[in-house]
Structure 1
Amino acid sequence: MSVTIKDVAKAAGVSVATVSRVLNNSAAVSEETAAAVNEVIKEMGYSPNFLGRNLRKCETNNILAILPSTSHTVYSDIIRGMQDAAYPNYDILLSTSNSHLGTEMRLLEMLFNRTVDAAVLLGTQLEAQTLNDLNKRYNIALCCERVSGAKILTVTINDEAAAYDAVKMFLEKGKTKIGLVTTGGHTDALSSVDREAGYVRALSEYGIKAEEKYIYRCSYEYSDGCEAMKYFLSLDEMPQAIFCISDLLAAGVIKQAFKEGIAVGTQLEVCGFDNISLSEMYTPGITTVAQPGYDMGRMVINKLLDNMHSTVKNNDMIVLDHKLVIRGSAK
């Protein structure tokens, strides 16, 4: 017969509650008592039924993180920050929606049936009203991507201001023909919309009207960056600088530019976004907008845990700082 917690308590000469506290690493038990109980647990080969215990207290100690895609390495730092903030009391369970609403809702059933205690969405197809309704019943948060009108805990950066800073860098050097490579029209992500708005605002401040011919709309793929450069080369006047809303797109632009014999960093300047590891390893290094991914991940979990253990939810949008990282593609 299997050993029960009552058997351990009897053998150790303590109460069942004391054994439970030892199993939960409670500070309410002295070191001597904890050592004695742990020795009995080891000798008797007791294995606590964590699943049953979690069901009884209606907690799983699991937090679901739903990614829209696994192809974007920008999420790696965010996830690392989430895991560090959750350790050692919670585990982060990762899943991917592929930006499909049906898949996202199916994954959220883990929250509805209490398989997880909370969920973080790193990009969502859900509308603001749906998110607000869910937030009344469950512990959820947004990270990286904001949703207009969603009154739930959100940790992000100011994408509009970040893009503005990047484009203004080109303008201050006297560049007047600046291309934009964006996913606008291919995604509903507000980060893309905001970054285009920052591009337009920077040009406007310098008396330059944004021209559609200098805007290339595509997806996030590296190959789209290559196609964007081919398109810009087909224009009567090629851009003097190109702002890309991701580093992968910037890498594609640079690769194609070199194939066409264009010196990146002198004849053409390029700036990306995200500061993924590739941007530093690429030749030339890619000038980019750095998001504080690790800090975003830590922040969203810390604030979410506070919400989980509080009667009043923090539904703020927390905006962390971005910074320009200057490398060879735009010295």
Structure 2
Amino acid sequence: MFYYALMVSITEIADMAGVSPATVSRTLTKSAKVSDETLARIEEAMEKSGYSLEIHRKRNNSRVARVKNIAFLILSRDVLQDYSSSFNKTTRAVSSAIIQSHANMIHAYVDKLDNLPPAVANGTIDGLVLSGSCSDDQVMKMISGIPKVWLSSHREGEMVLPLVGNEGIGKMAAGYLSRRGHKKIAFLNAFSEHLAMATRSDFFEFYARKNDVDVELFTKRNREKTYNSIHEIKHALEELIDQWASQPSRATGLFIPLDIQVAICYEILAAKGIKAGIDVDIIGCDNDEAALMGLSPKPATIEIGAAAMGYRAVQELMWRIDNPHAKKHDSVTVVVEPKLVPGGVTDFFVK
């Protein structure tokens, strides 16, 4: 009986009980509460399979200081991963923080159930750091009940949960341009399908109108949600700039919500005889030094605290793992307040 008990896996128990392996694992370790009905199904499955709860507890208790297992999962490919320096900063910070916490880390791209790492599927992961928005409901079901932190705007079922910091970014950009005397401003963005960009747009428009400033939105819809090359991005931005430039009374201030787009727009504007920073005031976002290098005059940008966000996410996750009953919800979003980084144009005189 003891030999058979050791051979039965948590995954098999989960299949018999109709729950995820993570739910079984946390039920056995008492690290999360489950309903009486779920507990009854798990206990029934254990009894039928011959799984020994006593042996499981002895094996776990023998690990005096068990190393935590953390999975950093990218749930969808999007434009920020390909073209934003902030995503790379956050990723490096998450990896460094996990290593400093003396935990094991799995880093994987999971857009469908087949790509879910076995350690996550069988419930041996202690916590999750998540980025992106997965459309596969089976993946979300498998990771339900596992302590997790989100680094991005995402969807849960029918709900869209925007990252709170993007509201502040939109507000900051609108306030910056209105304080500089602009009476008409615009949001220009080739990545409108991205949740973060959409949130920045919504709040930029809201606070511009609240400040009694006219506002226009120039956005490009991209069904693929990303671009295969800088050339494709440039082509999309050229169309948007043509729309903006053709206005009889065009906006004198632009919020371009990603610095890589700002750099491309400088080139496009120069080719049209429009001087960025002189003929039109621009503020970007990301504080991407590589993208902004060489731009003159250097535009203002917004620092979103990507590295700090990565470190804080891991700290929050470790605390939640060590204090499983402290909070009701199993997921939390980590936010760092954005900061304005002034550009090389100290004053802008609206013509």
Query: TM over 0.5, yes or no?
Result: yes
Structure 2 counterpart of 1:307, from 307, 314, 320? 320
Q: Which amino acid aligns with 2:242?
A: K
* Residue of structure 2 equivalent to 1:175: 182
C-alpha spacing 1:316/1:142, structure 2 compared with 1 (3 Å): closer
Q: Tell whether the 8 Å contact from 1:225 to 1:251 is kept in structure 2 after alignment.
A: no
Distance 1:180 1:102, change over 3 A: same
Could you say which residue in structure 2 is the equivalent of 1:160?
A: 167
Structure 1 residue aligned with 2:339? 323
Query: How many angstroms does 1:113 deviate by?
Result: 2.2
Distance in 1, Cα, partners of 2:333 & 2:209: 28
2:209 aligned residue: 204
Instruction: Indicate whether 1:63 and 2:70 are aligned.
Output: yes
Q: Which SS does the other structure have where 1:76 is aligned?
A: helix
Return the alpha-carbon distance in structure 1 between the equivalents of residues 166 and 137 of structure 2: 19
Change (3 A) 1:197 1:127: farther
* Unaligned segments of structure 1, at least 5 residues: 1-52
Query: 1:209 and 1:266, CA in 2 relative to 1: closer, same or farther beyond 3 A?
Result: closer
Aligned pairs (5 A) from 1:1-331: 61-67=68-74, 68-69=77-78, 70-71=81-82, 72-88=84-100, 89-97=102-110, 101-102=111-112, 106-107=115-116, 110-114=119-123, 116-126=125-135, 134-136=143-145, 138-145=146-153, 147=155, 157-182=164-189, 186-187=193-194, 189=195, 191-211=196-216, 214-218=217-221, 222-223=233-234, 224-284=236-296, 285-312=298-325, 314=327, 315-328=331-344
How many angstroms does 1:278 deviate by?
2.3
Change (3 A) 1:145 1:110: farther
Distance 1:140 1:108 in 2: 16
Distance 1:122 1:186 in 2: 16
Change (3 A) 1:93 1:117: same
Percentage identity across aligned positions? 16
Q: Which deviations, in whole Å up to 9, do the C-alpha atoms of 1:269-312 show, x marking residues without a partner?
A: 11111112324414133321111111110111111112222232
- The one-letter code matched in structure 1 to 2:342 is I
1:121–1:142 contact (8 Å) kept in structure 2: yes
Q: Deviations over 1:235-254 (max 9, x none)?
A: 33332121112112222222
Identify if the C-alpha distance between structure 1 residues 87 and 325 changes in structure 2 by more than 3 Å, giving closer, same or farther: same
State the alpha-carbon separation in 1 of the partners of residues 257 and 154 from structure 2: 16
- CA distance in structure 1 between the aligned counterparts of 2:318 and 2:155, rounded to whole angstroms: 21
Tell me the TM-score normalized by structure 2: 0.64
Q: Tell me if the contact between 1:182 and 1:218 (Cα under 8 Å) persists in the aligned partners.
A: no
In structure 2, what residue type is equivalent to 1:283? L
Normalising to structure 1: TM-score of the pair? Answer: 0.67
Identify the residue that residue 27 of structure 2 maps to in structure 1. none
Question: Structure 1 residues 102, 109: closer, same or farther in 2, change over 3 A?
Answer: same
* Separation (CA, whole Å) in 1 of partners of 2:346 and 2:115: 44
Shift of residue 268, structure 1, vs aligned partner: 0.8
How many residues align? The count is 267
Aligned-residue Cα RMSD (Å) equals 3.6
